[in-house]
Amino acid sequence: MPDRQSSTTQNGVALLRIVVPDQTRLDVLNSMGVDLAEYKKDVDGGIEVHAVLSPQEAQDLRNLGFDVRGAISDQTDLAENKAQRQAAQSLAAAVAGEADKLTPLRAEWFDSTDNQRFLSVEVKSSATDAETVLTASWDSGRKTAPDSGGTATMSRFTDAGQYMYHRFNSPLTVAETPTTVTITSNHGTSITVPVTKWLGDKRKAPNKHYVSDFVDHYMDPTELTGRITSLARQFPQISEIVDLPNKTNGYRRAAQAQFGTAAASTLYVSSKAFGSEGGNDLSVALVKPDVASSPLSVKVTGKDVVVSLATDESAAISSTSRQVVDALSADASASALLTASTYRGNAGAGVVAAATATKLSDNLKAPATISRAPFQQKVLRIGKKRDGSKVGVFLYCQEHAREWVTPLVCTETAERLLRNYSRDAQTRKLVDNLDIFIMPVVNPDGAHYSFYDYNMQRKNMTNHCAATSGDPGSRNSWGVDLNRNFTVGSAFDGYDGASTTSCTSGTFAGPAELSEPEAKNEVWLTEKYPNIKFAMNTHSYGGYFMWPPGAYKAAGRELLPRVDFGTENFFWDASGHILSAVQSYRGTAIWPGRTGPVPDVLYSAAGNSADEHWFNRGIMGWDFEVGADLYNPTTKQFQAVGFQPEFSEGHEEAMEFASGQIGILETALAFSKDDKAPKSKLDVTGRTDTSTTFTFSINEPANVYYTLDGSRPTLSSPKLVSSGMREGTQQITVNKTTQVRWFSVDIASNVENGYKPAGNNNNYKQEKVEVRKVR
């Protein structure tokens, strides 16, 4: 019987932990449409993810062999035991194989809340097999022994069945700041690399008149929209409301009633009119006549439908649910008011029970002040000069309904910009020189539902289900995942992480790309205002900072194209600035391991909005997952915060990520002012008697185009790439003395030396790379 009840009791639905052995298994879970949180964490024995599951759904997953554990609150991570165990294993595995090559990716220390200091290390071994064990040792400051800080075994990180690199499950606490870390492989190789500082860039202390902290409770979409409307009225010189052209379906649905207990004898009815438009006034009765051999008949009086059930010779009911459904469908008056269906596609051979007149209900619990009409979505546009001449930034929040903190982030940012404009010079620079579009709630219908009916609602409310899953017990599972409804790398294109077939899947992509008005509105805005160059898609939870590409095909982990070398470095550079802004509020450090392209740190999300904006319109977009794990110094564990933490915590998350959004605006401002050309140089990095290896270094994120055949470099020439995921610059090897010609272009399109790649001048850079006997 219905498992997810459409009621406020939630019927045992909870946020549970699932541990899968590897990414391949996680991809299976993801492609099954399980209602996953945007969160994953390496744990002993695999990867921990969180899913919203009813008791039946949890049981179904267990039956399929998934390790479904308890609710997320109590985490007994076995990090210490694990380190000990792996150290023992590494001894056993220390059968010397062939020496491997170790490539350091990242080695960083950072401070987070409670003045706790952490170490994060990522290293790639050329030996990709599971028997390769890497151990990291670090010092405890300058002139201390190389292993005086501690030693730990690293975890092997695999994705879609492929080895990626080694890292720690979570950053390790350190008492003193390490200067170097030494990574040793059980194959006998060892490297020592410097540990650099992650985040904590010095930020100017805010002007003492700077005001912040404008959100003091969780807000529903009606209140949020009222709030930005009133802000635009208060600050007409520097802001306005943009009405989006597509109204949502609205916080409304059909009224329904269900009769019966066993599936074969159950039927349900759905009103043709929405509940709020007359559906809630309908009633249906299944009446047993007290006579033998009575025929099945239907009578409609006004809004009341009475079914007189058939009886046999002994005056017992003989109508099956199928027969009642057919009789209701055949009656013109009844079928004008409602549709009738058997339960979830059942043949309906069971005899029904009598039922007194039962009112149909849409079962929506929001007060009458929440409109049941299609919702007018609004964007608050902030800027002194709103004529399209300034660089545009699109900040949007709450694509997923249950992520209650996210609209507070957008609202807080809007308030800070408007209320500090007259008193803070830095705010004035942002507002005077940028065109800022703030959309606090992308998914208003789903969010109203999450507030008043079913708090774990992720999708919008639109029912695309056929009669087989249109029953009242499926109502909490209807809707489209708006962040899977876009057109690039979508499930319709074969990418992983959304369902095109199950209307009740947690990641249902909709009946087609851009089927939903909410998704159409996002695209409309970015097309209508082509000056938008940056975007931020804010979700919760886990503390992630991500950028495109965001999807892959599971077979072979075929990724959407990675961004180019210069853009990737721009994203990393901006991360330092933006995440330091987040950190400036209460110390929260987003981990290096939770920073990067989406599939490198989370999982494939087919048809998400950031990919849409980047691949179709070149908008550099990020995704925040607000709500970083909280470190508990007593238990020495990180704990997940969930979708709707107590407001005191939600408030802190809104404050710190609003600071992050301001950091994005600062990044956009620097981009808009950037008229300085990049400077690059050629560095020889290795020589043998028969070859020379070199690369380029550049003083800012930029792309390098080069030729090795003496020709004039153009934008069609080979482009410098990264040597691999999270690795450094490509190394180029030549086997004979070569004249290298090149130029660099930064992200704001400034070309080194003012060189014109399409022109005739020869003011590119050039250098002869010699190949000669080393000695």
Residues in contact with Zn ion by the rule CB under 5 A: 400, 539
Between 15 and 334, name the residue whose CB sits nearer to Zn ion: 15
Closer CB to Zn ion, 274 or 404, in the complex: 404
Q: What is the largest CA-CA distance in the chain?
A: 113
Name which of 139 and 403 has its Cβ closer to Zn ion: 403
One DSSP character per residue, 543-606 reads -EEEES---EETGGGEESPPPPHHHHHHHHHHHHHHHHHHHHHH-----GGGEEEHHHHS---T
> What does each C-alpha distance from 746 to 270, 563, 670, 699 come to in angstroms?
59, 14, 13, 10
Least distance from Zn ion to the Cβ atom of residue 25, Å: 22
With tokens 């399209």, the residue in question is 388
What gap in Å lies between CA 19 and CA 735, rounded to an integer?
50
Task: Give least dist CB 452 to Zn ion, A.
Answer: 20
Q: How far is the CB of 403 from Zn ion (least distance, A)?
A: 5
* Beta strands at 391-397 and 434-439: parallel, antiparallel or unpaired: parallel
Tell me how far apart the alpha carbons of residues 443 and 224 are, in angstroms, rounded to a whole number: 12
Nearer to Zn ion, 539 or 594 (CB): 539
Output the smallest distance, CB 667 to Zn ion, in A: 23
In the complex, the smallest distance separating the C-beta of residue 386 from Zn ion, rounded to whole angstroms, is: 29
User: How are beta strands 544-547 and 620-628 bridged, if at all?
Assistant: antiparallel
Can you give the C-alpha Rg of the chain in angstroms? 30
In this complex, which beta carbon is closest to Zn ion, that of residue 50 or of residue 400?
400
Helix (H) or strand (E) segment spanning residue 162: strand 162-167
State the nearest-atom distance from the C-beta of 483 to Zn ion, in Å.
6
**What residues have CB less than 8 Å from 189, skipping those under 6 apart?**
99, 100, 101, 102, 125
Look up residue 616 and give its two tokens: 């179709």
Nearer to Zn ion, 382 or 456 (CB): 456
Q: How far is the CB of 38 from Zn ion (least distance, A)?
A: 5
Please list the helix, strand and coil fractions of the chain in percent, rounded to the nearest 5, in that order: 25, 30, 45
Which one, of 488, 568, 571, lies nearest residue 522 by Cα? 488
Strand 150-153 and strand 134-138: the pairing is antiparallel
Give min distance, CB of 37 to Zn ion, in A: 8
Antiparallel, parallel or unpaired: β 180-185 and 304-308: unpaired
Minimum CB distance to Zn ion smaller for 539 or for 651: 539
Q: C-alpha 51: how far from its chain's center? A: 14
Measured from the CB of residue 444, what is the shortest distance to Zn ion in angstroms?
15
Q: How far apart are CA 739 and CA 25, in angstroms?
A: 50
Nearer to Zn ion, 41 or 400 (CB): 400
Q: Give 300 or 395: the residue with its C-beta nearer to Zn ion.
A: 395
- Is residue 696 within 8 Å of 704, Cβ to Cβ? yes
- The vertex-339 CA angle with 333 and 369, nearest 5°, equals 100
Which residue number, 383 or 549, has a Cβ lying nearer to Zn ion? 549
Q: Mapping DSSP to helix (H, G, I), strand (E, B) and coil, where does residue 521 land?
A: helix
What's the first-to-final CA gap in the chain, in angstroms? Answer: 82
Q: Provide the minimum distance between the beta carbon of 30 and Zn ion in the complex, in angstroms, as a whole number.
A: 14
Q: How far is the CB of 537 from Zn ion (least distance, A)?
A: 9
Q: Would you give the distance in Å from CA 435 to the centre of its chain? A: 25
Nearer to Zn ion, 400 or 726 (CB): 400
